[in-house]
Amino acid sequence: MYVDQLVGKDTVNTLPPATIEACADHCDIADRIESDMDAAYALIHSLDHPKVGIDLDRVMDDLLADGIEKFVQPFNSLMQSLEEKVKLLAPVA
Cα angle vertex 31, ends 61, 28, to 5°? 100
pLDDT digits (tens, 9 = 90+) for 11-45: 777 888 888 888 888 888 777 778 888 998 999 99
Distance between CA atoms of 18 and 1, rounded to whole angstroms? 12
29 and 4 in contact (C-beta within 8 Å)? yes
pLDDT for residue 11? 79
pLDDT for residue 64? 93
pLDDT digits (tens, 9 = 90+) for 51-89: 999 999 999 999 999 989 988 989 999 999 999 999 998
Provide, for the chain, the percentages of residues in helix, strand and coil under a 3-state DSSP scheme, each rounded to the nearest 5: 60, 0, 40
12 and 34 in contact (C-beta within 8 Å)? no
Does residue 72 or residue 91 have the better pLDDT?
72
